[in-house]
């Protein structure tokens, strides 16, 4: 997708805030516990390489991504730290991962058997693998100790091809107050690790939520994701956090057109909004193709420190707002962030959209340019 740099709609990313969020997390870790920065999905919409550079500066010792292509992008940008792909890759790409020193998860003996002949056919370093354990997330991973042992038996046939670098699981309720299911998953994971003939370098279970509220489970590495961007993993469920989470992302635009409409005049597709009297309507050059979704009708933006309602349906590339007075073209519009004494958070947008802030951040399209504010040295 073409990035629209000649349009005033922009995602602003505060690098100093990301640096501080990582520093706060590192300060709470036990000695010997590492932090891998989770930069998947273009760093949750904040920009992959930008966030990786800031996280490295803050003290992150590795990275987690979702797909192999993201890991390769980091390698191509000369990041040398350990990288773990969190999603399963096709066995045919195992040589690519090995050649680039990228760790991948393994969830079945069958995957290892399929990858093995490809790894032996070339002169490659051992493929670093992390054993994925399904303790209750129901996504990927070994469900029984016997399944894990079958996989270890495959590795034992040609141990020079594989390096068992880690073992991990993912908690499905770490961001909820009721800890019963979390504790069950923790017990299951402990049983798997106890069954290993040798403890690998990385034993990890902690995403952002676990690191915030269940730090005793951290193992020797945390996967620091949404909290790095200053967002509470639980939304509103657990408002208490051990340190202040500073949101790093703002979303801004400008008024490009202002007009006065009169009682009964309709706005946008379907004529779903009609003016109740004389009103000033401003047009903002952003729409659902940018990730500002159609369901945002009826929400608000900030103009001159005042909340202004989005009226009519959000279009693909534009939407309209009702303003208290006529504002000229070029007037700043804040969709996420602060204007005067008022603010709109990603959580506010998510609440209105009946979703989570992760989805809002990740939905912001590549057409929106990302610009650093408060850049680090």
Residues 69 and 213 in one domain: yes
Does any domain span residue 370? no
* Phi, psi at 328, each rounded to 5°: -75, 160
Q: Domain tally for the chain?
A: 2
Q: For residue 167, name the pLDDT band (cuts at 50, 70, 90).
A: very high
Does any domain span residue 337? yes
SS3 52: helix
Average pLDDT, the chain: 97
Does any domain span residue 304? yes
SS3 165: strand
Residues 214 and 112 in one domain: yes
User: Which of 44, 57, 181, 269 is flagged as catalytic?
Assistant: 269
| Inter-helix orientation angle 145-157/109-120, to 10° | 10
Is residue 139 marked as binding?
A: yes
Residues 290 and 214 in one domain: no
* DSSP assignment string, 58-82: HT--EEEESSHHHHHHHHHTT--S-
Q: For residue 42, name the pLDDT band (cuts at 50, 70, 90).
A: very high
Which domain, by its residues, includes 305? 249-355
pLDDT at 377: 76
Residues 214-226: what's their mean pLDDT? 96
Residues 349 and 269 in one domain: yes
Residues 269 and 300 in one domain: yes
Distance CA 249, CA 336 (A): 8
Does any domain span residue 235? no
Does any domain span residue 70? yes
Does any domain span residue 165? yes
CB 251 within 8 A of CB 337: yes
We report the CATH number of the domain holding residue 268 as: 2.40.37.10
What is the Cβ-side half-sphere exposure of residue 148, based on CA atoms within 13 angstroms?
A: 27
Does any domain span residue 270? yes
Q: What is the pLDDT of residues 107-125, one digit of tens each?
A: 999 999 999 999 997 789 9
C-alpha distances in angstroms, 120 versus 92, 105, 149? 12, 19, 22
Considering all CA atoms of the chain, what is the largest pairwise distance in Å, rounded to the nearest integer? 79
Residues 300-322: what's their mean pLDDT? 98
User: Which of 40, 44, 273, 288 is flagged as catalytic?
Assistant: 40
Residues 138-150: what's their mean pLDDT? 98
Per the document, the length of the chain is 377
Q: What is the pLDDT of residues 244-282, one digit of tens each?
A: 999 999 999 999 999 999 999 999 999 999 999 999 999
Residues 21 and 119 in one domain: yes
Element (H, E) at 43: helix 40-44
Q: Enter the tokens of residue 23.
A: 């520093």
Residues 65 and 203 in one domain: yes
Residues 98, 102, 105, 109, Cα dihedral to 10°: 10
Question: In this model, does residue 1 exceed pLDDT 90?
Answer: no
Q: For residue 153, name the pLDDT band (cuts at 50, 70, 90).
A: very high
CA 39 to mean position of chain CA atoms: 6
Residues 193-206: what's their mean pLDDT? 97
CB 280 within 8 A of CB 259: yes
Residues 114 and 189 in one domain: yes
pLDDT at 121: 78
Residues 75 and 40 in one domain: yes
Is residue 201 marked as binding?
A: no
User: First vs last Cα of the chain: how many Å apart?
Assistant: 30
We report the CATH number of the domain holding residue 199 as: 3.20.20.10
Residues 167 and 280 in one domain: no
Least confident of 120-129, 133-142, 148-157, 172-181: 120-129
Residues 253 and 154 in one domain: no
User: In the beta sheet, which residues pair with residue 323?
Assistant: 280
Question: What is the pTM for the complete model shown?
Answer: 0.96
Distance CA 257, CA 79 (A): 44
Last residue of a domain, one of 229, 262, 294: 229
**3-state percent breakdown (helix, strand, coil) of the chain, nearest 5:** 35, 25, 40
To the query of whether residue 157 is one of the catalytic residues in this protein, the response is: no
To the query of whether residue 325 is one of the catalytic residues in this protein, the response is: no
Does any domain span residue 314? yes
Residues 173 and 295 in one domain: no
pLDDT at 122: 75
Residues 89-93: what's their mean pLDDT? 98
Q: What is the pLDDT of residues 327-346, one digit of tens each?
A: 999 999 999 999 999 999 99
* Phi, psi at 249, each rounded to 5°: -110, 135
């Amino acid at each position: 997708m073409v990035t629209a740099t000649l349009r005033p709609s922009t995602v602003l990313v505060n690098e100093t805030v990301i640096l501080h969020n990582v520093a706060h997390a590192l300060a709470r870790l036990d000695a010997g516990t590492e932090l891998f920065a989770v930069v998947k999905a273009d760093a949750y919409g904040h920009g992959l390489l930008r966030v990786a550079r800031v996280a490295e500066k803050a003290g992150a010792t590795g990275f987690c991504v979702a797909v192999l292509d993201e890991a390769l992008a980091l390698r191509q940008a000369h990041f040398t730290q350990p990288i773990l792909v969190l999603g399963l890759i096709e066995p045919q790409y195992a040589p690519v991962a090995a050649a680039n020193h990228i760790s991948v998860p393994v969830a079945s003996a069958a995957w290892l058997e399929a990858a093995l002949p490809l790894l032996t056919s070339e002169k490659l370093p051992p493929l670093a693998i992390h054993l994925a354990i399904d303790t209750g997330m129901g996504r990927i991973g070994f469900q029984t100790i016997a399944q894990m042992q079958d996989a270890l038996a495959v590795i034992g046939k040609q141990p020079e091809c594989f390096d068992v670098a880690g073992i991990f699981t993912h908690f499905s309720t770490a961001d909820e107050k009721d800890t019963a299911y979390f504790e069950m998953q923790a017990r299951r994971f402990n049983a798997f690790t106890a069954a290993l003939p040798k403890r690998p370098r990385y034993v990890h279970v902690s995403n952002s939520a676990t690191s915030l509220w269940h730090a005793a489970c951290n193992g020797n590495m945390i996967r620091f994701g949404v909290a790095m961007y200053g967002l509470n993993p639980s939304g509103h469920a657990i408002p208490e956090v051990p340190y202040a989470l500073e949101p790093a992302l703002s979303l801004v635009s400008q008024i490009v057109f202002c007009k006065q409409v009169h009682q009964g005049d309709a706005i946008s597709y379907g004529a779903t909004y009609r003016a109740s009297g004389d009103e000033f309507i401003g047009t903002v050059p952003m729409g659902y193709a940018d990730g500002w979704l159609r369901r945002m009708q009826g929400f608000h933006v900030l103009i001159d420190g005042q909340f202004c309602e989005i009226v009519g349906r959000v279009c693909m590339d534009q939407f309209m707002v009702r303003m208290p007075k006529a504002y000229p073209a070029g007037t700043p519009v804040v969709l996420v962030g602060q204007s005067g004494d008022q603010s709109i958070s990603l959580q506010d947008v998510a609440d209105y959209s009946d979703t989570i802030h992760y989805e809002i951040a990740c939905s912001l399209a590549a057409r929106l340019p990302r610009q650093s504010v408060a850049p680090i040295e």
